[in-house]
Structure 1
């Protein structure tokens, strides 16, 4: 009989173990910690939504909707889609559940997203993002806080070589006037545009400014800037954001060609861009989308948010030193096995990281513990005599006061019959 084919992961989807899993966890842990310090709370939304949730917010003609979404019909004939981004689902939940009564809402989430596109470095068909949103706040201070959140997160992750690029899309009056100016400019040179840009001229002219086609670049550089059309109110909003970032110690570069293509975007647009990732340089990007909730059928609701790719952040993050297990509990005889298990569970309940082996004699288990770089080995010699039968071998080097403090913090809280474990420890080889 022919052996079955070796099972493979779906193209563009990946498995994590070991160092990669540790990097992933590190990014998420830092994200949660910084979010807590800024007063954000967790939100969860479904992985699957009705397709119209994304078609309405991303636009029927965009590549994401027309080419990249994983959409399918369920047994009732409803068109469903695996989420390609978080914001639309969060806004849908905001409307569905009447969350406007809780505004301003400061929300964070993270998890898998799905897009059918060509896999490459830093880009996958199942990828993961961290996401932060503020709904129900129209003030520039909300934009400042969100950007400061992202800036602190990158610093906490130890990521260098990242610059914040900042722009404004103005208010509705400014945006409409700028759009008309761009249409006039690009229409006069339509024959020189790339095929994609000629299509965008009809559907979404602001996106021509994103073009990477060499033939488009001279026309993009010569296009009118938004500052030529800025209303007084929009200029004041952007100035307040800029001054707030300066007061918060967040450096930025004005990037007047940074845009968002949809009409519901307003005012602030920003990207944190790495100098180490080549074409996939943006690690966190976001902006203000005051018109989105209303466009989805909800009440007028100002909002601002950002998202960052976990895989890209993993590529830039140094893996922190793994925490060494505090202790290995090893029975010296088969009769002491149950007592060793009881002690190990007591230690874990007190906050210790306990290494455990499943088989082998005491010598082999000690060798396994040494490979795990445990700080101490606790031998259980006799279940009947309890504390008098415990032997502690200390593997921490002299002078390592941090590890000593961690030992004392755990063993100092143990029951009286284990009090001897906090002192009088034997050194290795004794």
Structure 2
């Protein structure tokens, strides 16, 4: 049996990488009062039909839908924001705080063609700042994405931003864009031809080279923004500059989900081929109200974890999953004594591995060398009878036998001095 196409087992040597990322991210977000939230991976299908948009690839091609035993239509979540919005409403979180800063980390599911950095079960780290319509909220979330990447010592990225305005401004722009594109309809790729009257803005996100050439000279959405929308975007840009965060304005940047308005942004790299977006996000002021909650302006982003791991793989090679101490013993009599040593190692939070084989000392010692451990603690009948332990340095091969009470009193020196 093999895993399903587009899914992947996360093995122990990889799990420690995921834990490393969590250990980096948690204090950064916690310091800014972002609190973790976990939502179910299954939701009512209607949630995503109402939020993502009817003529998007996610809705039309990529969602995992099924009927459960009660004939309810269920979907494996394809993205995180809709579930967070649903949780915000169903748990009446608006009654407790005017601003809710939330973050999540978990699996998402889309039926896409698997390739490097893109799987059918993939994982996202996301944050949502719910309750503020201030440009500083947009910049706060962007700043946190940049801070996480910089803390992971990854610098080969660029930030692109755009304003996609409000619904009425986009409607005005759609008419202008359709009039322009219709002159080139035969030259557009097949998907763009199908979208020209249903969701023309998505054509701006086409990866087809000929379509991109046509789009290059197309009218820009910013020409339809009113004074208020332009001022909001200018304020976002000004705040980014005050933080010395470099950015470029990409007037064709349109996020693939219909609930966005005003600020849209992506953090991109040239190291992932066509899957060049590390982080994507933006403002969504009408989503929560659209789902039946109160009018609640919000902004957030998501980072693809699999892509991030590919980008920081050189740094991750430094992570050691080996035990520091390998513990070997001789028989049932010595195993009872071994628990005392293990309790000491646990108290000191020293990573160890206890040999569970019935092999002789020679074979156990060979396993200790193969484990990658730095030290080996040997407990035989002589050690038990004299209340000693023997410690072997697996790099220098120097071995010493000391009293158990000395080991307890001087464990840091005994284990880490050489």
Q: Shorter-chain TM-score: what band? A: 0.7 to 0.9
Match of 2:409 in 1: 419
**Is the contact between residue 336 and residue 383 of structure 1 (CA under 8 Å) also seen in structure 2?**
yes
Match of 1:50 in 2: 44
Distance 1:103 1:365 in 2: 60
Pairwise mapping of residues 8-47 of structure 1 onto structure 2 (< 5 A)? 8-47=2-41
When the two structures are aligned, how many residues end up with a matched partner?
404
The two structures, once aligned, show a CA RMSD in angstroms of: 2.6
1:86 aligns with 2:73: no
Match of 2:62 in 1: 68
Structure 2, unaligned stretches of length 5 or more? 397-403
Match of 1:252 in 2: 247
Aligned to 1:250, the other structure's residue is in SS state coil
- TM-superposed deviation, 1:209: 0.9
- TM-superposed deviation, 1:190: 3.9
1:234 aligns with 2:232: no
**Is the contact between residue 24 and residue 311 of structure 1 (CA under 8 Å) also seen in structure 2?**
no
**Is the contact between residue 77 and residue 108 of structure 2 (CA under 8 Å) also seen in structure 1?**
yes
Aligned to 2:71, the other structure's residue is in SS state coil
Comparing 221-230 with 279-288, greater Cα deviation is found at 221-230
Pairwise mapping of residues 151-300 of structure 1 onto structure 2 (< 5 A)? 151-260=146-255, 264-300=259-295
**Is the contact between residue 393 and residue 425 of structure 1 (CA under 8 Å) also seen in structure 2?**
no
Match of 1:77 in 2: 71
Match of 1:407 in 2: none
1:335 aligns with 2:339: no
**Is the contact between residue 51 and residue 82 of structure 2 (CA under 8 Å) also seen in structure 1?**
yes
Distance 2:332 2:67 in 1: 58
Distance 1:254 1:314 in 2: 27
Aligned to 1:80, the other structure's residue is in SS state strand
Cα deviations by residue, 1:251-277 (Å, 9 ceiling, x for unpaired): 211111101355532211111111111
Comparing 342-351 with 189-198, greater Cα deviation is found at 189-198
Aligned to 1:355, the other structure's residue is in SS state strand
Comparing 224-233 with 303-312, greater Cα deviation is found at 224-233
1:148 aligns with 2:138: no
